[in-house]
Amino acid sequence: MDIAWSVFTPWHSLAGGLLIGLAASLLLLANGQIAGISGILGNLLQRTGLQNWRVAFVAGLILAPLLLLPLLPATGPFRPSVPVAEPMDILRLLAGGFLVGLGTRMANGCTSGHGVCGLARFSPRSLAAVLTFMLAGFATVFIWRETWGLPL
């Protein structure tokens, strides 16, 4: 059995989804901003003046998992050992990162902006983007497994 399915916990998933929705709602209500990661990060790097809320948002994305790490069990699926990356793994990582970045530019947003915030606002553009993301993901997994017979 694949480890991802053997440790699936619907209550943890539900709690995570509720927290993401709550955070996105609070950012929209308190700041009038959409919680789209690519837009927040992209505008943070532009020379339009530093906006503290963007810095805080990105810092939270980076620091929250690091702060929670001591609370996780010493072993298990949520605390995997990190082997030394092989050159092919690094190339796959770079290619994947490039393709994700290209996709977010083509879709004018990422899965968080379109999937969480856009769908919640009933945006037709976000619905089209999310359907495209999902279909491309399904096709990629299918082709990967059928071509090489390997799990992702």
pTM of full prediction above 0.75: no
| Domain edges within the chain | 3-148
Six-digit token pair at 59?
């810092």
* Residue 128 binned pLDDT confidence (cut-offs 50, 70, 90): very high
* Number of residues that make up the chain: 152
Confidence of residue 127 (pLDDT cuts 50, 70, 90): very high
User: Which residues neighbour 38 within 8 Å (Cβ) at sequence distance 6 or greater?
Assistant: 101, 104, 109, 110, 112, 113
pLDDT in tens, 9-31: 788 789 888 988 998 999 889 88
d(CA 92, CA 140): 14
> Higher model confidence: residue 36 or residue 8?
36
Q: pLDDT by residue (tens digit) across 71-95?
A: 766 655 555 555 656 767 778 888 8
- For residue 120, what pLDDT is reported? 86
| pLDDT on residue 1 | 42
Confidence at residue 91, expressed as pLDDT on a 0 to 100 scale: 82
